C-alpha cells in the first residue's frame, strides 16, 4: 500500500572503502594550463569510505540517507572523472566538458531515473554523476555567459555530491530532503557584473532524464542569482528550482502540480581562519499541499593548514511528514520517485527536526600521485523537537551517532 512517503521525490542540492570519503574531480580545480585544447584534459579518481556508529543498533539511521547504514563499513563512492574545465580567466570563446561516473552506496540516491538505476539491485551501484559540455561565450556582458548542456549536479545548496567539498561525512536535512540532486538540461550563468551572476536553466526535473527516465512529461527550470560582495568575503547564492515532480503513474494530471525548491546560501569569510555559512531552505509541493524547510548554520575554523574545526546546527520542519524518511531497500529511492511500491517510511505526521554536528577535518600533505586526503571524524545528535519518535526503529525521539570517513584523491 503506497503512502505519501512512497510518492515523494528525493532531494539531493551535495561528494571508498573502510572508513573513508570519496573523490570526484574537484569542482573548484585550477584553470587548465596554457597550450593546446587537449592539454587541458584531466583524469582523476577519488574514493570515499566511512562508518557510522549508533549504539542503539537500528537497521537504518533514520533521516540520514548517505550514512544510513549503522555500524557497517561503507564504500560510499569510487568516483572517476575526465574533464576539461573552461578557463575562468578566458576572455574569448572556450569549450570544456565533464564525464563523471560513480560506484558505491551513494549511487542508491544519486541516480538519474532511467540510467543504470536498476542495473544493480545490491547496496553498491553504478551511477552517471555528470555528462555535459560547457561553453564560455564572450557576449552580452563584459564577463560573458557560461553555458552548460547535458547532465549535471544541481547548483542549489551548500553541500554537494562530491564529498571533498563538504565539511562533514553526514549530510544535512536540507541536502537530503530539501533540494534536488541532479538535472538533465541546460544552465546558463550570465556574468552581469563583477558583483552579480544571473542563473537561468531549463531541465526535465529532479533526478530525471528523458523518455522512461522522466516520471512525468513536463519541464522544470532554475532561476536565481549569486552576489559577490565585500571584495569576495561575502557571497549570497539564491536559487529556485520549479516544476512538476510527482509521478504521472500515481498522481492524476501530475504535470499541473508544481514543486518549489528554494534555497539561499550566505557565506561570510570573517577572517583568514573563520568562515561562517548560513543556508535557508523552503520546499512546497502543490498536489500534496506539503511544506518543508529550515535553516542550517555552519562554522569552519582553520587551526592550521592541516586541521580545521567544523560545526553545523540545523532545524528543519516537515509540515506533514511528507519529505523526511528512510529507504532501507536498495532500490527504494528510485521506486519512490517513480511511484512504484517500496519499503520506504516516514513519520506520517508533522515533525520538526533538530541536528547538531561537530567534527574535525584532517588534511595531511602527501606526495604524488595522491592529490589530497581528508579524514573527517564527527559527533552528531538528531532529535525530534515535538512529540514524535522517528529514530532507532521508532523507539526514540533522538539519536546519537559517531562517524568518520576519508576522501582520497589521485
> Range with the lowest mean pLDDT among 131-140, 204-213, 268-277?
204-213
Q: Tell me: the pLDDT tens digits for 93-106?
A: 999 999 999 999 99
| CB of 29 closer than 8 Å to CB of 51 | no
Tally the C-alpha atoms within 13 A of residue 183's C-alpha that lie toward its C-beta.
Answer: 24
pLDDT value at position 10? 37
All three cell numbers of 80? 572517476
Q: How confident is the model at residue 280 (pLDDT cuts 50, 70, 90)?
A: very high
- Mean per-residue pLDDT for 37-63? 96
Residue 238, all three cell numbers: 539564491
Q: What is the mean pLDDT of the chain?
A: 91
Beta bridge partners of 236: 227, 266
Dihedral of alpha carbons 229, 269, 375, 65, sign: negative
Cβ atoms 144, 138 nearer than 8 A:
yes
In this prediction, residue 212 carries a pLDDT of 81
Instruction: Return d(Cα 21, Cα 42) in angstroms, integer.
Output: 21
Q: How sure is the predictor about 337, in pLDDT bands with cuts at 50, 70 and 90?
A: very high
Beta-strand ranges (E) seen in 85-193 are 94-104, 125-137, 145-153, 182-191
- 29 band by pLDDT with thresholds 50, 70 and 90: very low
The full length of the chain comes to 410
Which tens digits make up the pLDDT trace of 232-258?
999 999 999 999 999 999 999 999 999
Residues 117-129, mean pLDDT to the nearest whole number:
96
**CA 189 and chain centroid, separation:** 20
**pLDDT of res. 90:** 79
Residue 87 has what pLDDT?
Answer: 85
CA distance 359 to 310: 5
pLDDT at position 20 over 50: no
Phi, psi of 282 (to 5 degrees): -145, 135
pLDDT score for 12: 34
* Residues 267/234, Cβ–Cβ less than 8 Å: yes
For residue 294, pLDDT beyond 60: yes
Q: Are 42 and 29 in contact (CB under 8 A)?
A: yes
- What pLDDT score does 88 carry? 80
Sequence-distant (6+) residues with CB within 8 A of 36 are none
Residue 34: exposed, middle, or buried by beta-carbon count in 10 A (0-12, 13-18, 19+)? exposed
**φ and ψ at 177, to 5 degrees?**
-130, -10
Question: Is the pLDDT score of 34 beyond 80?
Answer: no
Range 21-30 average pLDDT: 36
pTM: 0.90
Backbone angles phi, psi at 254, to 5 degrees: -55, -30
Q: Residue 320 above 90 pLDDT? A: yes
Angle at alpha carbon of residue 385, lines to 296 and 8, rounded to 5°: 70
Confidence at residue 89, expressed as pLDDT on a 0 to 100 scale: 80
Over residues 129-182, the pLDDT tens digits come to 999 999 999 999 999 999 999 999 999 999 999 999 999 999 999 999 999 999
Q: Give the bridge partners for 408, in sequence order.
A: 373
Higher pLDDT, 36 or 242: 242
Confidence (pLDDT) at 35: 64
Q: Could you please report the per-residue DSSP string of 190-234?
A: EE-SSSEEEEEEEES-TT--SGGG-SSS--EEEEEEEEEEGGGTE
Q: Within the chain, what is the greatest distance between any pair of CA atoms?
A: 63
For residue 389, the SS3 value is coil
Q: How many CB atoms lie within 10 A of CB 13?
A: 29
Q: In order of start, what are the domains of the chain with their CATH numbers? A: 4-409 (2.40.160.10)
Instruction: Grade residue 11 by pLDDT with cuts at 50, 70 and 90.
Output: very low
Strand partners, 280: 264, 295
Question: Can you tell me the mean pLDDT for 339-365?
Answer: 96
Measured in whole angstroms, the distance separating CA 353 from the mean position of its chain's CA atoms is 19
Are 338 and 215 in contact by the 8 Å Cβ rule? The answer is yes
Amino acid at each position: 500500500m503506497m503512502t505519501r512517503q512512497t510518492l515523494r521525490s528525493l532531494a539531493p542540492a551535495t561528494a571508498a572503502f573502510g572508513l573513508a570519503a570519496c573523490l570526484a574531480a574537484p569542482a573548484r580545480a585550477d584553470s587548465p594550463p596554457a597550450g593546446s585544447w587537449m592539454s587541458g584534459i584531466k583524469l582523476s579518481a577519488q574514493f570515499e569510505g566511512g562508518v557510522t556508529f549508533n549504539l542503539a543498533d537500528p537497521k537504518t539511521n533514520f533521516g540520514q540517507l548517505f550514512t544510513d547504514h549503522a555500524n557497517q563499513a561503507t564504500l560510499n563512492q569510487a568516483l572517476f572523472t575526465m574533464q576539461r574545465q573552461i578557463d575562468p580567466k578566458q576572455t574569448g570563446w572556450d569549450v570544456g566538458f565533464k564525464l563523471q561516473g560513480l560506484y558505491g552506496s551513494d549511487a542508491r540516491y544519486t541516480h538519474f531515473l532511467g540510467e543504470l538505476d536498476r542495473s544493480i539491485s545490491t547496496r553498491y551501484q553504478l551511477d552517471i554523476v555528470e555528462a555535459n559540455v560547457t561553453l564560455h561565450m564572450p557576449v552580452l556582458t563584459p564577463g560573458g555567459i557560461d553555458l552548460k548542456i547535458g547532465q549535471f549536479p544541481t547548483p542549489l545548496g551548500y553541500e554537494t555530491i562530491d564529498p571533498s567539498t563538504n565539511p562533514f561525512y553526514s549530510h544535512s536535512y536540507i541536502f537530503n530532503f530539501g533540494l534536488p540532486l541532479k538535472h538533465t538540461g541546460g544552465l546558463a550563468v550570465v556574468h552581469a557584473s563583477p558583483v552579480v551572476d544571473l542563473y537561468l536553466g531549463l531541465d526535465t526535473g529532479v533526478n530525471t532524464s528523458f523518455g522512461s527516465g522522466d516520471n512525468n512529461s513536463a519541464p522544470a527550470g532554475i532561476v536565481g542569482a549569486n552576489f559577490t560582495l565585500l571584495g569576495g568575503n561575502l557571497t549570497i547564492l539564491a536559487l529556485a528550482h520549479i516544476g512538476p515532480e510527482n509521478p504521472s503513474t500515481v498522481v492524476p494530471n501530475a504535470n499541473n502540480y508544481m514543486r518549489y525548491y528554494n534555497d539561499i546560501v550566505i557565506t561570510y569569510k570573517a577572517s583568514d581562519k573563520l568562515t561562517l555559512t548560513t543556508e535557508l531552505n523552503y520546499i512546497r509541493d502543490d498536489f500534496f499541499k506539503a511544506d518543508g524547510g529550515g535553516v542550517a548554520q555552519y562554522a569552519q575554523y582553520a587551526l592550521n593548514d592541516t586541521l580545521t574545526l567544523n560545526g553545523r546546527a540545523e532545524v528543519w520542519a516537515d509540515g506533514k511528514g511528507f519529505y523526511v524518511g528512510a529507504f532501507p531497500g536498495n532500490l527504494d529511492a528510485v521506486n519512490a520517485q517513480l511511484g512504484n511500491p517500496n519499503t520506504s517510511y516516514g513519520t506520517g505526521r508533522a515533525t520538526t527536526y533538530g541536528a547538531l554536528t561537530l567534527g574535525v577535518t584532517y588534511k595531511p600533505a602527501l606526495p604524488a600521485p595522491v592529490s589530497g586526503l581528508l579524514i573527517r571524524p564527527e559527533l552528531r545528535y538528531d532529535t525530534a523537537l515535538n512529540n514524535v519518535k522517528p529514530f532507532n526503529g521508532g523507539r526514540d525521539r533522538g539519536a546519537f551517532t559517531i562517524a568518520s570517513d576519508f576522501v582520497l584523491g589521485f
